[in-house]
Amino acid sequence: MLGFILLFPLIGFLVIGILGGLFGKRLPNSVVATLGCGSILLSLVFSFYAFIQFLQDPTASRELSLTLFDWIPQLGVAISLKLDPLSQLMILVVTGVGFFIHLYSVNYMGEDPGFARYFSFLNLFTFAMLLLVLANNLLLLFIGWEGVGLCSYLLIGFWFEDNEKAQAGKKAFLVNRVGDFGFLMAMFLIFVTFGTFNIDSLKIYEIHEAQLPSLTLITLLLFIGACGKSAQIPLYVWLPDAMAGPTPVSALIHAATMVTAGVYMVARLHFWYALTPFSSSVVAIVGISTALFSASMAFFQNDIKKVLAYSTISQLGYMFLGVGIGAYTSGIFHLITHAFFKALLFLSAGSVIHALHGEQDIQKMGKLSSKLPLTHIVFLFGLLAIIGIPPFSGFFSKDEILWMAFNKHPLFWVCGWLGALMTTFYMVRVFTLTFYGPSHHHAEHPHEAPPLMALSLIVLAILSLGGGMVIGGHFLEQFLTPLFTKHLEVTLSSHTEHTLMIVMILSTLVTAILTFFIFHKKQEWAVHVRLKFLKLHTLLSHKYYVDELYQFLIISPIQKGAHFFWSIIDTLFIDGTVNNIAYLNGYFGSKLSFMQNGNLQRYAFIFILGVLAILLYLGKYV
């Protein structure tokens, strides 16, 4: 059954790819759409079936594995899959959210000439993501890991005729490769230390005291990989640019699934992170720092997708905070709810963009609430979920992470709280500027989402509303927590918990209402504040000049170095030496050639000289 879950998207990719290659534009969209969505639906059905089975099984036996064939025998690596409660939840998210995003794409990409290419890539992505999640050894996980990166590259640069978009795809791939460098090193160290890549074997491996430093290094190196894939400091720079891809791609890959792979990996290898407090602290601190840092960058972005991108980075930071402090269940919980509401936010942003014929600048929107009522409502659902208003899903998961964080150290909570208020500010700003305030757009009749898009939006809105209530609390506690051998213990009283919760909700509400009021009624206040803190505004809207810094410190030295090596070292020195040796030969040859000019008298003369020289030489000894 595990095999089937993986197989359908792979078949979907191959069939669509081959049919698209054979028939080109003559291939009807309906065939592509049926194949593309159908494969994911089948995968979803099988995943759901496995889930139902799991629920009936006793906790201890919730496990399913499948070994297909040997891959690299000398390393003991096989193509082997494993389903446990953690990967179970992940495949449900990947195929569930993935299916509705596929469905949405049928309308959204309907007029694109690359329709078949789009769906084949999206299916390939789903396959790679499922492989990543189901892999039972780290090397296989790495196939999925780089596989999703490839799909991300291809889909960011989907409209390849635009150089900027192609550039964004390349940037994403390369920044991820920097992370993967860390991942590779971690794998080498794992193999040298433990002699296996198999996750099950690694989990039961008894670690000696002496191995702990290596283990710390391994977990840190793996986290570099996670920083790349999940866009954390300092490797987050690719994700905002990745918004060049089609919006459903941003929803699926760059919000709901792929970017959470790093969080998933930390949770999957929790048995190591639990043993290495230093690495775990690094994970938590990087997570919360990223959460704050990228929230501040989202403040004054005017591209609706970019704001959502920064908010994704920020929310991923919360997830890392969760898994970093040892609250693995909470981290995964937030991963799931985030998949719901962030996919919803992206898809409703896509609906706005679709309605305005490609406009993404929120300053050119406004007053869309009456024209796009459905989009307006579902966006509001997403908004309430992300800022954490009960009973929307985000509230439960974020609250749980922050409560756990408070148990670890109150400062984590304070930072998280600050981040939550910042999130509230920029999200409400986007919402207000898009749907309220004065109208700035020129579209005559913005059209509401077509049926398949609307259906996907509604389903995701329901999940964003109810997802937290349904799976939060007892369900996850019973389903997931037994998997994590060591989990953060809650030591403080529930009285503290409730106080913190109330502080959080009230301050969020106040911020939300104030922000709404300013951007709806008193935009001049915002302008006034902006002018007063012009320098800060410039710094933030230029994203702290980090891209420029990387360009200056890393990329341009590499390029200059390359040209130096090429024109000076290689051409001048090395090849120059080689050629000069050859020319020198020729030179001496031509100088000595006077001895062999064909003139017999000169030969005789030289001959006599030679004889004389020999005689003289011999004469010395006579």
Partner 1 sequence: MTFLENHLLSILIFLPLLGSLVVFLFPKTSNVKLQMVAFGISLIEFGLSLLLLRYFNSSSHLIQLVQKVSWIPELGTSFFVGIDGISLWLVLLTTFLTPIVILSSTIERNVKSYMACLLILETAMLGTFVSFDLILFYVFWEMMLIPMYFLIGIWGGARRIYATLKFFIYTMAGGVLMLLAIIFLVYLHYDQFGVFSTSLLNMYSLQIPFETSKIFNIQSLLFLAFAVAFLIKVPMFPFHTWLPDAHVEAPTGGSVILAGVLLKMGAYGFLRFAMPLFPEALQFFMPYLIALSIIGIIYGAFLALAQTDLKKLVAYSSISHMGLIMLGLLILNTNGVSGSIFQMLCHGISTGALFLIVGIIYDRRHTREIASFGGLTKVMPYFSVAFLMVTLSSIALPSTNGFIGEFLILLGTFEKNPLWAILAASTVILGAYYMLWMFQRVMFGPVTHPENKVLSDLSLREICVMLPMIVMIFWMGIYPKPFLSRMEKSIDYLVSNYKHYDLGIYEKHQ
Quote the least distance from Cβ 569 to partner 1, whole Å: 8
- Does residue 582 interact with partner 1 by CB under 8 A? yes
Of residues 293, 357, 283, 294, the one with CA closest to residue 327: 283
- Does residue 592 interact with partner 1 by CB under 8 A? no
Residue 20 CA, chain-centre distance (Å), reads 28
Quote the least distance from Cβ 426 to partner 1, whole Å: 32
Task: Give yes or no for a contact between 71 and 139, defined as CB atoms under 8 angstroms apart.
Answer: yes
Quote the least distance from Cβ 553 to partner 1, whole Å: 15
Quote the least distance from Cβ 228 to partner 1, whole Å: 11
- Does residue 566 interact with partner 1 by CB under 8 A? yes
- Does residue 223 interact with partner 1 by CB under 8 A? no
- Does residue 75 interact with partner 1 by CB under 8 A? yes
- Does residue 21 interact with partner 1 by CB under 8 A? yes
- Does residue 562 interact with partner 1 by CB under 8 A? yes
Of residues 392, 379, 378, 394, the one with CA closest to residue 428: 379
Of residues 479, 501, 363, 422, the one with CA closest to residue 51: 479
- The three-state secondary structure class of 77 is strand
- The three-state secondary structure class of 446 is coil
Phi, psi (5° rounding) for residue 42? -60, -45
Q: Give the C-alpha separation, 10 to 151, whole Å.
A: 13
Which letter, b or e, does each residue of 121-134 get, where b requires 16 or more Cβ atoms within 10 Å of its Cβ? bbbbbbbbbbbbbb
Q: Give the C-alpha separation, 116 to 82, whole Å.
A: 31
Please identify, using beta-carbon distances, which residue of 157 and 326 lies nearer to partner 1: 157
Task: Give yes or no for a contact between 223 and 280, defined as CB atoms under 8 angstroms apart.
Answer: no
Q: Give the C-alpha separation, 355 to 347, whole Å.
A: 12
- Give the interface segment with partner 1, choosing from 83-91, 145-153, 361-369, 589-597 (CB under 8 A): 145-153
Please identify, using beta-carbon distances, which residue of 29 and 193 lies nearer to partner 1: 193
Quote the least distance from Cβ 29 to partner 1, whole Å: 18
Quote the least distance from Cβ 15 to partner 1, whole Å: 15
- Does residue 561 interact with partner 1 by CB under 8 A? yes
Quote the least distance from Cβ 221 to partner 1, whole Å: 11
Residues 6+ apart with CB under 8 A from 186: 218, 219, 221, 222, 224, 225
- Does residue 74 interact with partner 1 by CB under 8 A? yes
Please identify, using beta-carbon distances, which residue of 160 and 544 lies nearer to partner 1: 160
CA angle, 86 then 345 then 253, to 5°: 50
Please identify, using beta-carbon distances, which residue of 134 and 356 lies nearer to partner 1: 134
- Does residue 192 interact with partner 1 by CB under 8 A? yes
How many helices (DSSP H) and strands (DSSP E) are in the chain? 27, 2
Single out the residue of 56, 58, 61, 69 in contact with partner 1 (rule: CB under 8 A). Answer: 69
Please identify, using beta-carbon distances, which residue of 174 and 529 lies nearer to partner 1: 174
- Does residue 7 interact with partner 1 by CB under 8 A? no
- Give the interface segment with partner 1, choosing from 28-36, 159-167, 481-489, 530-538 (CB under 8 A): 159-167
Tokens at 239, concatenated: 């994700």
Single out the residue of 57, 59, 67, 70 in contact with partner 1 (rule: CB under 8 A). Answer: 70
- The three-state secondary structure class of 489 is coil
- Does residue 583 interact with partner 1 by CB under 8 A? no
Please identify, using beta-carbon distances, which residue of 139 and 345 lies nearer to partner 1: 139
Task: Give yes or no for a contact between 332 and 480, defined as CB atoms under 8 angstroms apart.
Answer: yes
Q: Total binding residues for partner 1 by CB under 8 A?
A: 52
- Give the interface segment with partner 1, choosing from 94-102, 167-175, 254-262, 321-329 (CB under 8 A): 167-175
- Does residue 610 interact with partner 1 by CB under 8 A? no
Q: Crossing angle of helices 261-268/212-229, nearest 10°?
A: 160
Alpha-carbon torsion, ordered 38, 349, 243, 147, to 10 deg = -20
- Does residue 207 interact with partner 1 by CB under 8 A? no
Please identify, using beta-carbon distances, which residue of 71 and 194 lies nearer to partner 1: 71
Please identify, using beta-carbon distances, which residue of 149 and 322 lies nearer to partner 1: 149
Single out the residue of 99, 173, 395, 519 in contact with partner 1 (rule: CB under 8 A). Answer: 173
Query: Interaction with partner 1 in 459-478: which residues (CB under 8 A)?
Result: none
Q: Is 380 left (phi over 0), alpha (psi -120 to 50) or beta?
A: alpha
Cite the DSSP H helix spans in 109-194.
Answer: 115-134, 138-156, 163-194
What's at 598, amino acid-wise? Answer: G
Single out the residue of 14, 31, 150, 389 in contact with partner 1 (rule: CB under 8 A). Answer: 150
- Does residue 594 interact with partner 1 by CB under 8 A? no
- Does residue 118 interact with partner 1 by CB under 8 A? no
Tokens at 362, concatenated: 């929120």
Quote the least distance from Cβ 187 to partner 1, whole Å: 8
Single out the residue of 14, 41, 184, 536 in contact with partner 1 (rule: CB under 8 A). Answer: 184
What's at 363, amino acid-wise? Answer: Q
What's at 252, amino acid-wise? Answer: L
- Does residue 374 interact with partner 1 by CB under 8 A? no
- Does residue 157 interact with partner 1 by CB under 8 A? yes
Q: Is 57 left (phi over 0), alpha (psi -120 to 50) or beta?
A: beta
Alpha carbon of 304 to those of 160, 172, 519: distances in Å?
A: 22, 20, 15
- Does residue 212 interact with partner 1 by CB under 8 A? no
Quote the least distance from Cβ 578 to partner 1, whole Å: 5
Please identify, using beta-carbon distances, which residue of 160 and 517 lies nearer to partner 1: 160
For the chain, state the CA radius of gyration. Answer: 31
- Does residue 119 interact with partner 1 by CB under 8 A? no
Tokens at 449, concatenated: 């989402």
Q: Give the C-alpha separation, 232 to 163, whole Å.
A: 26
Single out the residue of 574, 584, 611, 612 in contact with partner 1 (rule: CB under 8 A). Answer: 574
What's at 466, amino acid-wise? Answer: G
Q: Is 443 left (phi over 0), alpha (psi -120 to 50) or beta?
A: beta
- Does residue 181 interact with partner 1 by CB under 8 A? yes
Residue 584 CA, chain-centre distance (Å), reads 57
Q: Give the C-alpha separation, 62 to 55, whole Å.
A: 8
What is the contact mask toward partner 1 in residues 343 to 362, using x (rule: CB under 8 A)?
A: --------------------
Quote the least distance from Cβ 3 to partner 1, whole Å: 15
Provide the binding-site residues for partner 1, judged by CB under 8 A. Answer: 21, 24, 69-75, 139, 142-143, 145-147, 150, 153, 157, 160-163, 166-167, 170, 173-174, 177-178, 180-181, 184-185, 187-189, 191-192, 558-559, 561-563, 565-567, 570, 574-575, 578-579, 582
